[in-house]
Amino acid sequence: MLIDSHAHLDDSRFDSDRDAALQRAWDAGVRMILTIGNGSGPDQMGCGIPIADAHDWIYTSVGVHPHDAGKVEERHYAQMTEYSKHAKVIAMGETGLDFFYDNSPRDVQRDVFRSQLALAKDLDLPVIIHTRDADADTEQILKEAAPIRGVIHCFTSGEKLAQCALELGFYISFSGIVTFPNARPLAEIARRIPADRILVETDCPYLAPVPHRGKRNEPGFVADTARFVAALREMTLDELADQTAANFHKLFAVKTS
């Protein structure tokens, strides 16, 4: 059972063929998808709910991406609390820090990140963390928030943040980036982290894995990333799929009927 632990199915790049892309994912062996509830800003954070409602194998999250931290108003936290009561909402995020793009001021990103971690704790939801070029700040803020459960998604950080995440009980999720020939240090982390902490994802429509690199990414391509990680770890694809699915269920406590 393959799970795509992080997709943006609401993205307009799926508007012309969303159902066909989901069918291809199913045909590739994907049996669960977590579609992220960020949309293009805090007013769209419910964007994953209609998609999750329409498919019993799709779940969703709710939260504000660091790019959009500058758009957050107090009322958005009340809205997150409201959305979190929905049966298909199983996580908060993605939230975090992005000091590569700096689309929102860094102090605002830190505030909004801290607030979402605090709310996730109140609501007993796992968090999905986005961090880019912000390892030291992410580490500090996660340590302040501990104990908290979650995943660093689309992991591209260094060894130090990986160690910190593992010590805090976090999971680490690898996207198609791990398959890129210039990502050897990342592949080394994917090879070595404990089996019970690893997840795989597409982060589609972004970051298609080899051999689809440069194309629009879609959930079915998680099989290519999983196959690559399985080879690194000298496991079969089925073993890696079963392990990451078990990890996903443990972290997100998905209720299946």
Question: In this complex, which beta carbon is closest to Zn ion, that of residue 76 or of residue 130?
Answer: 130
Shortest distance (Å) from residue 136 CB to Zn ion: 18
Q: Least separation, in Å, of the C-beta of 131 and Zn ion?
A: 8
How many Å apart are CA 138 and CA 96, to the nearest integer? Answer: 7
Work out how close the CB of 199 gets to Zn ion at its nearest, in angstroms, rounded to a whole number: 13
* Closer by beta carbon to Zn ion, 4 or else 94: 94
- Give me the residues that bind Zn ion (CB under 5 A), please: 94, 130, 203
Nearest distance from C-beta of residue 75 to Zn ion, angstroms = 24
d(CA 51, CA 209): 24
The counts of H helices and E strands in the chain are: 9, 8
Q: Which residues pair with 129 in a beta bridge?
A: 95, 152
Closest distance between Zn ion and the C-beta of residue 100, in Å?
11
Taking CB positions, which residue lies at the least distance from Zn ion?
130
Q: Which residue, 134 or 223, has its beta carbon nearer to Zn ion? A: 134
Instruction: Closer to Zn ion by CB, 203 or 218: give it.
Output: 203
From edge to edge, which strands make up the β-sheet containing 150-152?
2-7, 30-35, 58-62, 89-98, 127-132, 150-152, 171-174, 198-200
- Residue number with CB closer to Zn ion (10 or 94): 94
- Of the CA atoms within 13 Å of residue 70, those in its CB half-sphere come to 7
Q: How far apart are CA 62 and CA 46, in angstroms?
A: 6
Using the CB atoms, write b or e for 76-114: b if 16+ within 10 Å.
Answer: bbeebeebbebebbbbbbbbbbbbeeeebeeeebbebbe
